[in-house]
Amino acid sequence: MSGLRARAGAVVAAVSAAVLLLAGCTQASIEVPEPAAPDVGIQLFQLPWTSVAKECETTLAPAGIAWVLLSPAQEHIAADEWWASYQPVSYQLESRLGTRDEFADMVQRCNAAGVEVIADAVINHMTGQDEPGAGYAGTAYAHYDYPGLYTESDFHRCGLTANDDIQLYKNREQVQNCELVNLADLDTASPTVRATIGAYLEDLLSLGVSGFRIDAAKHIPATDVEAIVSQLPQGTRIMSEVIRGAGEPIAPEEYEGFGEVFEFTYARELTPPLENGVFSDPVLSDDRPQQVPSEAAIVFVDNHDTERGEANVTARDPQLYIIANALMLADDYGTPVLYSGYAFSDRDSGAPTDADGRVLDASCADTTGPVSDLADGERTCVQSWPAIRGMLEFRAMAGDAPRMPGVDSGDAYGFEREGRGVVAVNVGDDIQSIEVPTTMPDGAYCDVITGGPDAAGDGGCAGSEYSVSGGIAVFDLDPGAAAAIHLGSRR
Ligand code: LM2
Ligand code: CA
């Protein structure tokens, strides 16, 4: 709870600074409501614990980001690729991302800064390597060694080959109780396996984490996930990763009863109009087919898998990425999770490491972005982009105000969060003017995507300025531009 207050405090400070700018201004004063603490998370992909701790303190808390999603903390195979993290060999918290002590210190510091920590729990499987070897911490693979962890009967061996594509299996049994990409599948129905996984999750909770992403949840029967997480303390946040697929036998809805689920449909519906400029599509309208209820949905523009796969809009195209994230953060559906990764040319390349294979520290504290020509391994640092920070402020001001119907004009599109703020984007190649109906008071507003109210405190805007008059917000947008105004950004 103190975390929530700290977050709200940071956002209130930013907005009341904006309100102070109104002093001495001739416009009629308006009542600016207290911004809410938005429940927005961020995935810091393959970032070491020591860096995550600093990021919580220096960028996430000031931006009003509520929680951070980590990469897996388990001991894993010794391999250079990032996906070594998804081949655990034991439940020790020793990995390329840091030691147990570093993990504990990070969680404590993030919590103290008002940022909750969500761990990525890889509990469906262990390594797929056929031969035992040294794990990251130098131990032999626990499941070959059987140091009280498992017996062979605790694994499902379905005899699938490395080239078998799990997507082709339409049978529930095969999807959930067979090797996923040749990874040794745990028998999550077994009481000993459940107890071992439960003890691992309890261990993380004892260090202060607030909840878990359940990796590959689609490949664990929902009843098994439920049985494991129902043993955890009330209020533990559970986010099941169940990739929705047409014709798939397992759907996210099965996992909704005991937590949240990542809703992959959201990005799939959000981004095509941005690439095509066709907003008549139902995608951004109120009609959202195939999606779990808003309270259960974790939404995202991309994540570490989709930026290497299906996502067409990623940080590699900063303009479109800002537009997509702006629309997601302005929306009233789901709980958004931002994605902060690193540039790569090879989808397998891990984050830069030292000679011991330990991922190097990185900081976004002194950066602004976006930077469009990052070298491989450089961090995207979306949490420091002024456009993203402006939209987090927008979301805090929007609170639970309903989203009004969208309007489009040529390749531009916009909508209001009733009485609180208006967002508009132009995905075309020409300057586009768009008028968005609003109940916000008449006046001049600073766009928070290009900088918001001027830090100099002279009543001007750091970036663009737009006006509201007679119930209409008017935006003249350059190609690829996004704009957002809210009650706290009025000049
Ligand atoms: C996930 N969610 O359900 C993770 O988000 C995703 O990143 C993981 O795949 C996957 N499930 C398993 O946890 C990644 C990566 C794969 C990689 C696996 C295991 O995308 O490429 O598979 O981790 O490390 C790799 C090889 C694959 C091989 C497998 C087993 O790419 O060719 O399969 O290891 O050796 C023979
Ligand atoms: Ca399984």
Could you tell me if the CB of 83 is within 6 A of ligand 1? yes
Give yes or no for a contact between 417 and 439, defined as CB atoms under 8 angstroms apart: no
Residue 139: the pLDDT is 84
Which of the residue ranges 56-65, 151-160, 225-234, 356-365 would you say has the lowest mean pLDDT?
151-160
| Closest atom of ligand 1 to CA, residue 125 | 13
Q: What percentage of the chain reaches a pLDDT higher than 70? A: 88
Could you tell me if the CB of 231 is within 6 A of ligand 1? no
Most confident of 282-286, 428-432, 471-475: 471-475
- What residues sit around ligand 2, an ion, with C-beta below 5 angstroms? 124, 185, 219-220
| Closest atom of ligand 1 to CA, residue 241 | 3
**Per-residue 3-state assignment (H helix, E strand, C coil) for the chain:** CHHHHHHHHHHHHHHHHHHHCCCCCCCCCCCCCCCCCCCCEEEECCCCHHHHHHHHHHHHHHHCCCEEECCCCCCEECCCCHHHHHCECCCCCCECCECHHHHHHHHHHHHHHCCEEEEEECCCECCCCCCCCEECCCCECHHHHCCCCCCHHHEECCCCCCCCCHHHCCCHHHHHCCCECCECEECCCCHHHHHHHHHHHHHHHHCCCCEEEECCHHHCCHHHHHHHHCCCCCCCEEEECCCCCCCCCCCHHHHHHHCEEECCHHHHHHHHHHHHCCCCCHHHCCCCCCCCCHHHEEECCCCCCHHHCCCCCCCCCHHHHHHHHHHHHHCCCCEEEEEECECCCCCCCCCCECCCCCECCCCCCCCCCCCCCCCCCCECCHHHCHHHHHHHHHHHHHCCCCECCCEEECCEEEEEECCCEEEEEECCCCCEEEEEECCCCCEEEECCCCCCECCCCCCCECCCEEEEECCEEEEEECCCCEEEEEHHHEC
Q: Whose alpha carbon is nearest atom 17 of ligand 1?
A: 83
Residue 161: the pLDDT is 60
Residue 17, pLDDT above cutoff 90: no
| Closest atom of ligand 1 to CA, residue 77 | 24
Could you tell me if the CB of 86 is within 6 A of ligand 1? yes
pLDDT tens string 38-53: 899 999 999 999 999 9
Q: Kindly state the average pLDDT of the residues 336-363.
A: 97
Which of the residue ranges 14-28, 90-104, 295-309, 447-461 would you say has the lowest mean pLDDT?
14-28
Residue 27: the pLDDT is 53
Distance 181 CA to ligand 1 centre (A): 6
pLDDT tens string 144-202: 765 556 677 788 877 766 555 555 556 888 889 888 888 889 999 999 999 999 999 99
pLDDT tens string 205-215: 999 999 999 99
Most confident of 129-133, 180-184, 225-229: 225-229
pLDDT tens string 456-477: 778 899 999 999 999 999 999 9
Give the pLDDT band (50/70/90) at residue 275.
confident
Write out the catalytic residue numbers.
Answer: 215, 241
Q: Kindly state the average pLDDT of the residues 128-139.
A: 86
Residue 237: the pLDDT is 98
Residue 285: the pLDDT is 55
